[in-house]
Amino acid sequence: MKTWIHLINPFLVAGLSSFKKAVKISTYTYSVLATKQSDAFFGPIYTAYGPYHLALVKKYNDWKAHTGVQKGQTLNVNQLLKILSPTKINAWDYNITGVYPKKSTNYVTLLPYGHKPFQKGDKLSRISAVTQLKTNLTLINNTALATTLTDVTNFEGQLITANNTQTGALGATSLYSADVEKVITDAMNELFGILGDLIKHFKAEPTLAEPYFDLATIRNHEQVIFNSSLHSSEHETLVEHKFAETDVISVSVDGNTDIGVYLAAQNGDSPANYTVIRVTASNEKDITISEFTNNTTNRFLSVVNLSDVADGHVSVDIS
């Protein structure tokens, strides 16, 4: 048998679907209760709920801050990889060809696949290409390339340090995510208890409890987080949604390319002739709908990869 619907905590269902939504739901009730804190019935409820709400807001802000740290570390790795190709590999290749002509045995030993391993592939494979070059330069041990070996070794160290720091930041963010889920669960369970208190208080007319809860957010079970992987210069419509000018969407770019966000009049429209707001690689930005000048009534939230050479990825939270 299905669980009786009245025994399902709607606050918890909604809150765990989106951290941002949980804070919104909690803030609404806490703010309404604050207006009644001098009341003999509501005052103790407000006082008792305060620590749950404040803990939720604090943990949420901590999580957002650590997400920023993670993105900063990601950006550091991405910056180094951009330096690797073309700047570093071009310089190393130039130095190597000054000693070993292209297609010679030693040149092929050092750069068997040319620049490709340094330019393409995932992060770890590109770092590995630098390590392999360092190893082979060490084995050949030509004093004419000693400076090049030093540069390759130093740059490899920078890449490894940045990658390790990024991995640690990712782990820390995951731990903070678990902490946020814990305080969300506590706060949403407490709200469920408050609902019970208010139903008992208003048992003759329980609809009087409605104004104390953000029912629109609680009842909205539509998808609120949208992810998109975009090829170079590709655009995509994420969702059709009616936005208010005061609505705020959170855009997170976790790829290596800048992403543009726009509101289109029709599904599938390209960004041409629309206000496009840029979010830089490995960064997060909150965008108020009013910023989409002249397009605020458009309903099709869309994204475009602003790079014409590399793939990108973006996540948008409209809750």
> Is residue 186 located within the same domain as residue 304?
no
pLDDT tier for residue 247 given thresholds of 50, 70 and 90: confident
**Beta-strand runs (E) in the chain:** 225-230, 235-240, 248-253, 259-264, 277-279, 284-288, 300-305, 312-317
For the ranges 44-58, 140-154, 171-185, 280-294, which has the lowest average pLDDT?
Answer: 171-185
Phi, psi of 247 (to 5 degrees): -65, 150
Report percent pLDDT > 70 for the chain: 90
- Domain-terminating residue out of 201, 221, 241: 221
Mean pLDDT across the stretch 8-12?
A: 87
pLDDT in tens, 21-35: 888 899 999 999 999
Task: State residue 205's pLDDT score.
Answer: 94
> Is residue 215 located within the same domain as residue 266?
no
> Is residue 157 located within the same domain as residue 233?
no
> Is residue 64 located within the same domain as residue 148?
yes
Task: Give the residue among 256, 242, 257, 255 at the shortest CA–CA distance from 301.
Answer: 242
Residue 18 has pLDDT above 70, yes or no: yes
Task: State residue 211's pLDDT score.
Answer: 93
What is the DSSP code (8-state) at residue 3?
P
Mean pLDDT across the stretch 198-227?
A: 87
Residue 133 has pLDDT above 80, yes or no: yes
Task: State residue 14's pLDDT score.
Answer: 84
Per DSSP, the residues of 153-211 read HHHHHHHHHHHHHHHHHHHHHHHHHHHHHHHHHHHHHHHHHHHHHHHHHTTTSGGGGGG
Range of the domain at 165: 1-221
* Tokens of residue 161, six digits: 């340090």
Mean pLDDT across the stretch 77-100?
A: 87
Report percent pLDDT > 90 for the chain: 45
Task: State residue 170's pLDDT score.
Answer: 46
Task: State residue 218's pLDDT score.
Answer: 85
For the ranges 63-72, 201-210, 240-249, which has the lowest average pLDDT?
Answer: 63-72
Task: State residue 246's pLDDT score.
Answer: 87
> Is residue 292 located within the same domain as residue 197?
no
Mean pLDDT across the stretch 175-189?
A: 81
> Is residue 128 located within the same domain as residue 235?
no
Residue 199 has pLDDT above 80, yes or no: yes
> Is residue 116 located within the same domain as residue 145?
yes
The residue with tokens 């050949």 is 140
Residue 232 has pLDDT above 70, yes or no: yes
Residue 77 has pLDDT above 80, yes or no: no
For the ranges 58-67, 96-105, 166-175, 207-216, which has the lowest average pLDDT?
Answer: 166-175
List all residues 6 or more positions away from 130 whose beta carbon is below 8 Å from its beta carbon.
84, 118, 152, 155, 156, 159
- Domain-terminating residue out of 221, 255, 283: 221
Task: State residue 69's pLDDT score.
Answer: 47
Task: State residue 45's pLDDT score.
Answer: 96
Task: State residue 270's pLDDT score.
Answer: 95
Pairwise pLDDT comparison (108 vs 174), residue with the higher score = 108
pLDDT in tens, 272-293: 999 999 998 877 888 999 999 9
Task: State residue 47's pLDDT score.
Answer: 95
> Is residue 94 located within the same domain as residue 195?
yes
Q: Starting at the earlier edge strand, list the strands of the sheet with 235-240.
A: 235-240, 300-305, 259-264, 277-279
CA distance 243 to 93: 53
Q: Indicate the number of domains in the chain.
A: 2
> Is residue 109 located within the same domain as residue 51?
yes
Residue 62 has pLDDT above 80, yes or no: no
> Is residue 92 located within the same domain as residue 207?
yes
Task: Give the pTM.
Answer: 0.48
* Tokens of residue 295, six digits: 């397009």
The residue with tokens 């709200």 is 191
| Mean pLDDT across the chain | 85
Mean pLDDT across the stretch 220-227?
A: 74
> Is residue 111 located within the same domain as residue 181?
yes
The amino acid occupying position 133 is L
